Chains A and B, each alone.
Chain A
Amino acid sequence: MRVVIAEDAVLLREGLAGLLERFGHTVVAAVGDAPGLLAAAAEHRPDAVVTDVRMPPGFTDEGLRAALELRARRPDLAVLVLSQYVEQTYAAELLDSHSGAGIGYLLKDRIGDVGEFVEALHRVAAGGTVVDPEVVRQLLRRRRDPLARLTPREQEVLGLIAEGRSNASIAKELYVTEAAVAKHIANIFAKLDLPPAADGHRRVLAVLAYLRQE
């Protein structure tokens, strides 16, 4: 996979590049600001972009705006946005950009879990949607009565679906069989009046859309 990295802290930029190369990917460009990201993405036409939110010159949300602009130009470009803190407004803006397919939004902390991080990037590059557990937790905490009808275990499973996990990954996380996970999922979808969906991107988006609606 050919990747462009945008991150203003040199230490992290180098680290990320080394990490991705170790997993067999090609980092075609590593830049330190938003204009650099836009230029590199136009020049190299990468498969995926990994970008920090806060970058020079303004140190606010330049990376996020650049990511949204790139998506507007190339809706199929996979974008993984990293941030020191997660924020629902940012998540919403990303998910609304071309249906949220091929979008990832993670806390920078998650880079530390190297395997999971690279796995998340793969899912995004394959057109999936990956949302940080922290965002999902905030979404789940908003008042919505139907959610109260779910058992604690079902709520846990719902959260993991929203993060973009596959049935296999959920089963591993909760130490249960995949069959048990499938049964939970069927129950959740029935209780929330959601159309049944197979294991895939569309299911993640359906759940996220449900959690985000007012």
Chain B
Amino acid sequence: MVHRTALEALTRRPLPFLGSGWPWRCAAYLVASVVPGAAVAGVAAALLLVPHPYRFVTGPAALAVVLPPVARFEVVRLRLVDGVPVPRVADRRRREAGLAVITLFAMWWIDLLMVAFTAAPVLLALTPVVRPAVAPEVAALASVAGVLLLPVAAYTVTAWGGARGAMARAILAPQRSELGEVLRSRARLVDAFELERRRIERDLHDGAQQRLVALSMTLGMARLDLPADSEVGRLIGLAHEEAKQALGELRELIRGVHSPVLTDRGLGAAVRDLAGRSPVPVEVDVEVPRLPAPVEVTAYYVVSEALANVAKHSEAARVAVTGRVERGTLVVEVRDDGVGGADPAEGTGLTGLADRLSVVDGRLSLSSPAGGPTLLRVEIPCAW
């Protein structure tokens, strides 16, 4: 994994981290605060040099002069601790100015203070040089302590440098501004698909299905008038059976496109309906109110897929599906007593579920040790 910011680098193992350039980059980033510090000193000097009555004008004027270069400087030096490009936002100038103001009034001296604190181990290590008067044993001890403390200093410098960089980034660009838009448009797409599926279901229900029922009824009436052992009677009987079979197949097809029970009666009823059709016995304990359509549809899809997986791969004797809304989040669990060993990397089923969930900001977790049991847990925020 490539580490692009100081904070990401902090999560590496100690040796690679200490060997990397990140502590030095952070130190350089913080030391660079002498530049805004100097700017502040300049403004202060300008204030002191002018006669008292003009200071109220001079202060803001001096600030206005130093603000743009300080802002530029902040943006440029951010690259030291944060390699991710800052997205261009509409009010960039205003945000940069805000960052400059905060730097001038507070950040620069905090930065320098942090550097000063972490410079202590260096001073300690150099005790024999800087304080020749100290007894040699004490000086040697101090040196050893200083050297041992250096890695700690590297961590504190990087931590503050990284945090400072994250702050600067948060001020310069609202978080996940681009990512948010992508997610929203995906959600719109899924909504559109769902609407379309519902329309198809309606069309099939009102059209083909009704006609097939009528056809089957007509054939049934015709059968009444014909002797079953005549050739025509036999053919009509055959056609009648075909029509009934077509009706059954069409009904299954429609259910796959969109579950009418889900729309009419919500998740609990729809899951009980699924359970009734599962070859593996299912215990259902779903007590949830009506939820926003995308949440219900996604949860239904997950349970449907999970039950199909259980039937196909798990060799389970029973399955339990539970559903609750806990603090604004729908939590659905499907557990079976099968052989376990379900691997998201293996089939497309589980990855498909995860994709589908990501659109509604949901989370999928799976525990399936070899030998079982398997627990699939799904969390979907209900606020839409």
Say whether B209 faces chain A, with CB atoms less than 8 Å apart. yes
Closest to A137 in B: B276
B269 contacts A85, CB within 8 Å? no
B264 contacts A61, CB within 8 Å? yes
Which of A109, A114, A143 sits near B244, CB closer than 8 Å? Answer: A109
Instruction: Report the bound CA distance from A54 to B205 in whole Å.
Output: 10
Contacts of B277 in A (CB 8 A): 138, 141
Q: Mask for B102-126, Cβ within 8 A of A = 1, else 0?
A: 0000000000000000000000000
Closest to A23 in B: B224
Instruction: Report the bound CA distance from A192 to B95 in whole Å.
Output: 75
Instruction: Report the bound CA distance from A11 to B216 in whole Å.
Output: 12
Say whether A196 faces chain B, with CB atoms less than 8 Å apart. no
Q: Mask for A26-68, Cβ within 8 A of B = 1, else 0?
A: 0000000000000000000000000000100001110000000
Instruction: Report the bound CA distance from A12 to B261 in whole Å.
Output: 22
Say whether A84 faces chain B, with CB atoms less than 8 Å apart. yes
B219 contacts A85, CB within 8 Å? no
Contacts of B318 in A (CB 8 A): 143
Say whether B214 faces chain A, with CB atoms less than 8 Å apart. yes
A59 contacts B202, CB within 8 Å? yes
- Which secondary structure dominates where chain B touches chain A? helix
**Which residues between 233 and 269 of chain B lie within 8 Å of chain A, taking CB atoms?**
240, 243-244, 247-248, 251, 254-255, 260-261, 263-265, 269
Say whether B183 faces chain A, with CB atoms less than 8 Å apart. no
Q: Total A-B pairs in contact (CB under 8 Å)?
A: 98
Instruction: Report the bound CA distance from A165 to B217 in whole Å.
Output: 22
Contacts of B219 in A (CB 8 A): 112
Contacts of A54 in B (CB 8 A): 205, 260
Chain A nearest CB from B285 CB (Å) reads 10
Instruction: Report the bound CA distance from A109 to B202 in whole Å.
Output: 18
Say whether A173 faces chain B, with CB atoms less than 8 Å apart. no
Which of B217, B275, B279 sits near A142, CB closer than 8 Å? Answer: B275
Chain B nearest CB from A144 CB (Å) reads 8
Contacts of B218 in A (CB 8 A): 15
Closest to B259 in A: A85
How many residues on the B side are at the interface (Cβ–Cβ under 8 A)?
41
Known A85-B260, A87-B265, A142-B281: A112·B210 in contact at CB below 8 Å = no
A88 contacts B211, CB within 8 Å? no
Say whether B283 faces chain A, with CB atoms less than 8 Å apart. yes
A114 contacts B224, CB within 8 Å? yes
Contacts of A114 in B (CB 8 A): 217, 220-221, 223-224
B202 contacts A11, CB within 8 Å? no
B281 contacts A12, CB within 8 Å? no
Known A54-B205, A85-B261: A141·B213 in contact at CB below 8 Å = no
Chain A nearest CB from B15 CB (Å) reads 55
A interface, how many residues as a size bin?
Answer: 20 to 34
Say whether B91 faces chain A, with CB atoms less than 8 Å apart. no
B217 contacts A112, CB within 8 Å? yes
Contacts of B273 in A (CB 8 A): 87-89, 138
Known A85-B261, A141-B278, A143-B282: A15·B217 in contact at CB below 8 Å = yes
Say whether B137 faces chain A, with CB atoms less than 8 Å apart. no
A89 contacts B244, CB within 8 Å? no
Instruction: Report the bound CA distance from A47 to B272 in whole Å.
Output: 33
Closest to B241 in A: A112
**Which residues between 180 and 211 of chain B lie within 8 Å of chain A, taking CB atoms?**
202, 205-206, 209-211
Instruction: Report the bound CA distance from A54 to B213 in whole Å.
Output: 15
Instruction: Report the bound CA distance from A142 to B284 in whole Å.
Output: 10
B221 contacts A22, CB within 8 Å? yes
Say whether A108 faces chain B, with CB atoms less than 8 Å apart. yes
Known A112-B243, A114-B224, A115-B224: A87·B255 in contact at CB below 8 Å = no
**Which residues between 100 and 147 of chain A lie within 8 Å of chain B, taking CB atoms?**
107-109, 111-115, 117, 137-139, 141-143
A88 contacts B221, CB within 8 Å? no
Instruction: Report the bound CA distance from A141 to B278 in whole Å.
Output: 8
Which of A18, A89, A143 sits near B281, CB closer than 8 Å? Answer: A143
Say whether A19 faces chain B, with CB atoms less than 8 Å apart. yes
Closest to A93 in B: B265
Instruction: Report the bound CA distance from A18 to B224 in whole Å.
Output: 14
| Of listed B251, B254, B264, B275, residue having the most chain A CB within 10 A | B264
Say whether A179 faces chain B, with CB atoms less than 8 Å apart. no
B220 contacts A85, CB within 8 Å? no
Known A61-B264, A112-B243, A143-B282: A12·B272 in contact at CB below 8 Å = no
**Which residues between 15 and 30 of chain B lie within 8 Å of chain A, taking CB atoms?**
none
A9 contacts B248, CB within 8 Å? no
3 closest pairs, A vs B, by CB? A138-B276, A112-B216, A143-B281
Q: A12-B217, A84-B260, A112-B219 given; name 18 further pairs at CB < 8 Å.
A: A12-B213, A15-B217, A84-B209, A85-B251, A87-B261, A88-B276, A108-B213, A109-B216, A109-B244, A109-B251, A111-B213, A111-B217, A112-B216, A115-B220, A138-B276, A139-B276, A142-B275, A142-B276
Chain B residues near A (Cβ < 8 Å): 202, 205-206, 209-211, 213-214, 216-221, 223-224, 240, 243-244, 247-248, 251, 254-255, 260-261, 263-265, 269, 272-273, 275-279, 281-283, 318
A and B contact pairs by CB, cutoff 8 A, 18 listed: A12-B210, A85-B261, A87-B261, A88-B269, A109-B216, A111-B213, A111-B216, A112-B244, A114-B217, A114-B224, A115-B224, A138-B273, A138-B276, A141-B277, A141-B279, A141-B281, A143-B281, A143-B318
